[in-house]
Amino acid sequence: MSWSVRKPKQSFEVGNIVNIGFVSGLEVVKKVPTPGDWKPDFYVLWNSTKNVFYAFQPHNGGLVRCYDLAEALKAF
């Protein structure tokens, strides 16, 4: 039996629109590296229709709603 790595269905490049769970239409604003803590990098996302920022860390932190961009940048 051979194992293969599944490719992600969405691309988290800056400027792309992604969906996370039931929250759709999120624009990737910034990728924030987290060197040295062995956790995945996290992403700052923005819902333009509601003007709401989110921070998203795959597999660890999940999706966190933030008050503004500054809070989202410090979420993880």
Residues 6+ apart with CB under 8 A from 11: 18
Question: Per-residue pLDDT tens for 35-68?
Answer: 887 888 899 999 999 999 999 998 887 899 999 9
Domain ranges of the chain: 17-73
Mean pLDDT (the chain, rounded): 88
pLDDT above 60 (res 1): no
- Rounded CA separation 66/23 (Å): 14
Element (H, E) at 70: helix 69-73
Q: Report, as an integer, the average pLDDT of 17-21.
A: 93
The reply to whether the predicted model has a pTM over 0.75 is yes
pLDDT at 29: 96
Rounded CA-CA distance 64/10 in Å is: 19
% of the chain exceeding 90 in pLDDT:
62
